[in-house]
Amino acid sequence: MAEQLAVEALGFLAAEPERLQHFLSLSGLDVVKLRQAAAQKGFLAGVMAHLASDEALLLEFSAAGCHRPEVVGAACQMLNPGFD
């Protein structure tokens, strides 16, 4: 469930060039390396941590996917134990 939600979150980020560019700049990735990084362990945790670090982005994703913010937060916690 948490991984599936994180994949959905990545699609949400990728759907808007500004959102994707912001994520890439914060992660240090570029579009070419994104596909490689996506296959790495921990990548989806990073996607969820990125969402959780920006309340407006989290709420926008929640509304777009019809997910309660608490569900998104719980998925972030599952992928990032100890994340506050």
Residue pLDDT, tens place only, 13-70: 999 999 999 999 999 888 888 888 888 888 999 999 999 889 999 999 999 988 888 8
The whole domain housing 29 covers: 2-79
Q: How many residues does the chain have?
A: 84
The first and second tokens of residue 47, run together, are 């996607």
Q: Which residues contact 78 (CB under 8 A, 6 or more apart)?
A: 1, 2
Q: What is the mean pLDDT of residues 2-13?
A: 92
DSSP structural state of residue 15: H
Given a cut of 70, is residue 83 above it in pLDDT?
no
Residue 81 in 3-state DSSP? Answer: coil
Q: Is residue 47 part of a domain?
A: yes
Domain count, the chain: 1
Residue 71 in 3-state DSSP? Answer: helix
The first and second tokens of residue 60, run together, are 């926008």
Task: Output the pLDDT for position 76.
Answer: 86
Q: Is residue 60 part of a domain?
A: yes
Q: Is residue 84 part of a domain?
A: no
